[in-house]
Every structure is written in C-alpha cells, then in structure tokens.
C-alpha cells in the first residue's frame, strides 16, 4: 500500500463505537476496529468494532485477554484488528493521550497501517443541528517517525462512511437511548452473561 491510506467504516461498526462513548459520557472509553484490506482498490475496510473498556481502560491484563478473544473470534470470519478507537474523558480534550497512543502502537506492530479514531465531541454535539454526513471521529495514522498524525488536512489519508446515511441512523438510535444496550469488556468481565459481541444491538 502507498503512503496515503484510505479507510471505509461500516455503519454498524461506527455507530457502536459512538453509542459506547455516549453510555459512559463521564469516562474515557475505547474499542478496536476489525477489518481487511480490499485488494481491488487499496482501501482498508472497517467492517466491525468491539467496545473494550470504560473503567479499566489502561490495565494491561484485561487488554491482553480481550484482544486475544477478539482476534480468535474474528479470524474465523476473515477479519483482523486494523485499528483503535478512543474517546477522551473530558469534552474539550482533543489530544491523543498516552494510553490511546500506547494501545494504538501495540496494534500497529501487528498491522502497520492501523487507524486511530478519536471521537470529536464537538461534531457529535452539533450533529442534530447540522445533519452532517461526515464521521464524528478524527482519523490519525502512524508516521514513519512513529508519531500519530491527524489525517486529511493535507488531502492525504481519509476516512469515509460505507453507508452515507450512517449519521441519520445513529441519531435515531441516540433519540431512542439505544446506547444503554451497549456491552463492553468491562461489563463482560463483571458478568460473563453479558455478550461483548452485542449480537442484538441492531435488531
């Protein structure tokens, strides 16, 4: 693949991550992105996402367990971990903080073209008024210097929605408080009857 990466995220993967952040508005939350490289057009397709944590966000044992379970399950479906999602605790914090960088670095060792998606609270808050079709997340990619750089400002790497109406669908889910149904690995580790795959979230 070339230096400029193109990512395409599916509606369900995208909405699940944002709902997870809305469920835990006063906490930092994170998740992983699952996908594959499309051989035909050199696009990294993000087909799925898994919410990780809202309380034990920086604890290594829980992270390692969750990543192993996720990798094993999705490998059978032809998907691998292709990126990381993070929402900062503070509404006005738009920096890639240490824990986000460390986990994204870890993922990039296995998948060098990994994406780091950071929730933009301003875009999310403005969404009901603006009816914008662009994602409410910012895309960061890892440079050869190992720094994470905000993509798109120079026309380089970019993130697009697979379904252009994803934000409209997401607003419907938000208005019906669907975010209450999201299960992450913190929930699963507290109560294993809670399914981190969220099989019924979009039914």
Give residue 115's pLDDT.
95
Number of domains in the chain: 1
Residue 17: give the domain boundaries: 6-190
Mean pLDDT of the region 9-15: 97
The pTM (predicted TM-score) of the whole model is: 0.93
pLDDT higher than threshold 60 for residue 3: no
Instruction: Please determine, for residue 2, whether its predicted confidence score (pLDDT) is greater than 70.
Output: no
Amino acid 80: pLDDT: 97
Q: How many other C-beta atoms can be found within 10 angstroms of the C-beta atom of residue 57?
A: 20
| Within a domain: 196 | no
For the chain, the farthest-separated pair of C-alpha atoms sits apart, in whole angstroms, at 46
CA dihedral 179, 16, 130, 132 (to 10 degrees): -170
pLDDT of residue 133: 84
Question: Residue 40 pLDDT > 80, yes or no?
Answer: no
The C-alpha atoms of residue 123 and residue 137 are separated, in whole angstroms, by 8
DSSP state of 180: G
203 falls within a domain: no
Q: Is residue 44 part of a domain?
A: yes
Percent of the chain with pLDDT over 70: 94
């Amino acid at each position: 693949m070339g230096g400029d990466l193109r990512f395409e995220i599916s509606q369900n993967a995208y909405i699940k991550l944002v709902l997870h952040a809305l469920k835990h508005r006063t906490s930092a939350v994170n998740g992983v992105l699952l996908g594959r490289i499309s051989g035909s057009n050199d696009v990294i397709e993000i087909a799925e996402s898994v919410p990780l944590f809202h309380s034990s966000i920086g604890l290594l044992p829980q992270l390692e367990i969750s990543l192993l379970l996720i990798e094993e399950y999705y490998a059978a479906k032809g998907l691998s971990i292709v990126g990381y999602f993070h929402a900062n605790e503070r509404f006005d914090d738009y920096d890639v903080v240490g824990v986000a960088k460390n986990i994204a670095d870890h993922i990039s060792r296995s998948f060098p073209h990994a994406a780091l998606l950071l929730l933009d609270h301003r875009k999310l808050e403005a969404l009901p008024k603006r009816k914008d079709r662009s994602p409410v997340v910012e895309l960061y990619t890892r440079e050869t210097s190992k720094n994470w750089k905000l993509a798109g400002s120079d026309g380089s790497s970019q993130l697009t929605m697979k379904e252009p109406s994803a934000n409209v669908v997401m607003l419907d889910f938000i208005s019906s408080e669907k975010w209450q149904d999201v299960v992450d690995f913190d929930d699963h580790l507290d109560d294993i009857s809670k399914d981190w795959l969220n099989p019924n979230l979009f039914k």
